[in-house]
Amino acid sequence: MAIQWDSLLVEMMLLAAIIYGAIYVEALVDKRKIRKEEDRNRQQIVHFVKNDLNNKLRFIEESVKYSDFKPFFTDMWDATILGGKQILLPFPLFQNLQHTYSWMKYYNNELEQKQNGDSNEKEVLQILSEVKKSIGDSIKMLEDS
């Protein structure tokens, strides 16, 4: 029995092409699935943060209206950071949100000093207006993204 090298070579080339094609298609499908999941997570984070910032605006309005200054809870943003999900956001958006939450933490520190008698209400109101402005900028940026 003689070996037909030309047909064997063609069969091996076809088999190699099929295997390579299957691996390529599988990798492509996995990348697409990961991209869709990241997009869904990004949308959830944007919705989550936007909702949190809108609640903070209402909190500011009530604080000014009743002159009842209480600290902000920034645990939602901290959870986003600790979960490592901030990498899904575009860097300028992340930077803006980090700036906004830093203003909230600064306000919390000023409130703590006010309780110790080191700060007055006028300073706290100024910081609160800066926080409100920063939140407004962040919400606008979230809506644009």
The whole-number pLDDT of residue 104 equals 92
Sign, CA dihedral 136-137-139-140, equals positive
Q: pLDDT above 70 covers what percent of the chain? A: 96
- Examine residue 121 and state whether it is found in any structural domain, yes or no: yes
The whole-number pLDDT of residue 117 equals 65
89: phi then psi, degrees, rounded to nearest 5: -85, 150
- Examine residue 95 and state whether it is found in any structural domain, yes or no: yes
- Examine residue 21 and state whether it is found in any structural domain, yes or no: no
Instruction: Read off the pLDDT of residues 78-111 as tens digits, 9 standing for 90 and up.
Output: 888 888 888 888 999 999 999 999 999 999 888 8
- Examine residue 8 and state whether it is found in any structural domain, yes or no: no
The whole-number pLDDT of residue 32 equals 97
The whole-number pLDDT of residue 69 equals 84
- Examine residue 16 and state whether it is found in any structural domain, yes or no: no
Instruction: Read off the pLDDT of residues 11-48 as tens digits, 9 standing for 90 and up.
Output: 999 999 999 999 999 999 999 999 999 999 999 999 99
- Examine residue 111 and state whether it is found in any structural domain, yes or no: yes
Domain limits for position 104: 34-144
The whole-number pLDDT of residue 35 equals 95
Q: Using CA atoms, how far apart are residues 91 and 64, in angstroms rounded to an integer?
A: 32
The whole-number pLDDT of residue 79 equals 85
Contact of 97 with 66, CB cutoff 8 Å: no
The whole-number pLDDT of residue 2 equals 65
Number of independent structural domains in the chain: 1
Mean pLDDT within 75-79? 85
**1 pLDDT higher than 60:** no
Q: How confident is the model at residue 10 (pLDDT cuts 50, 70, 90)?
A: very high
Q: Using CA atoms, how far apart are residues 103 and 8, in angstroms rounded to an integer?
A: 72
| 119 or 134, which is more confident | 134
